[in-house]
Amino acid sequence: MENPPDSAALLWQCRGHRLDLAPRGEIMAILNVTPDSFSDGGDFLDPARAIQRGLEMLDQGAALLDIGGESTRPGAEPVPEDRELHRVLPVIQGILARRPRALVSIDTMKAPVAEAALAVGASIVNDVTALRGDPRMAEVVARSGAGVVLMHMLGTPRTMQRAPRYTDVVAEVAAFFSERLATATAAGIDPAAIVLDPGIGFGKTLEHNLALLRHLDRLAAEAARPLLLGVSRKSFIPKMLGAALRGDEDNLGARSLPTAVITALARQQGVRLHRVHEVPPNLAALRTAEALQTTAG
């Protein structure tokens, strides 16, 4: 059961945008302009098609778009900076030309890519390394006033699934959040600009992922900032369900319903931001959970 929200702790400041997460949660829609992302790799490499898809997801009710030009799936190889820029900038510019007030996030580990995306109108940096991958990233975020997502990950996308180990994954992710918050604010980033992501599937086994999902309420209570959850279509879902998928383990569409179920359950535990590939089912799950929500006290 969710505790009554602290309104100040649920306000996300992103370069002039104020996303108030106290009344309700919101959807961050995924738009990968990559050839090799695990779910939609190659689907939106054409900028015109990517722009159309982004506008469609906004029309479906997404509060923000997360645009990425480098896959962070397990085992992914790094992408050169110029190639990543070539993929993402036309899409960001095209979407904002049509929807100037749209809230756009750049999903990148590289400070120059973040800087260029912010220069053409992006408002958020979603950094899976939590400012550890590029020594200039904290400076770029602080100077721009951008919102930032700090995610927990062991190692790098190339190495993160090589036998990850924890003594207590929930406690260790909570401690990581505290350390990253302190480091980010010391670098000049406004605490109100920060959102935290437990990094489901990033350096975690199935058991680690399930432990985190069962204790999202604890993470939400201890984090002092909103949580973002990204479980959409991830490989732990068929591992979790096993025979229930009846031979559809490799069918990404079969992961859509479990994703929406997790969205609803996570909202009941206090998670306000949900990063997903499909807006309508997850937005419906989110609003259903909120309609049935009973707050403590």
Catalytically active residues, by annotation: 234, 275
Amino acid at 281: P
Helix (H, G, I), strand (E, B), or coil: what is residue 272?
Answer: coil
List Cα–Cα distances, 41 to 18, 47, 56, 85, 297, in angstroms: 31, 14, 18, 17, 45
189 touches 142 (CB < 8 A):
yes
- Phi, psi values for residue 32, rounded to 5°: -90, 120
Decide the pairing of beta strands 147-151 and 124-127: parallel
Residues 169, 262: Cα–Cα separation, whole Å: 19
**Under 8 Å between Cβ of 271 and 247:** no
Round to whole Å and give the CA distance between 30 and 274.
10
Non-local CB neighbours of 16 within 8 Å, separated by 6+ positions: 123, 145
Q: Residue 190, Cα to own-chain centre: how many angstroms?
A: 19
DSSP state of 227: B
Residues 114, 120: Cα–Cα separation, whole Å: 10
| Sole residue written with tokens 């909103």 | 226
> Residue 56: CB partners within 8 Å, gap ≥ 6?
none
Helices (H), ranges, 62-123: 81-98, 111-119
- Please state, in angstroms and rounded to a whole number, the distance separating the CA atoms of residues 115 and 124: 11
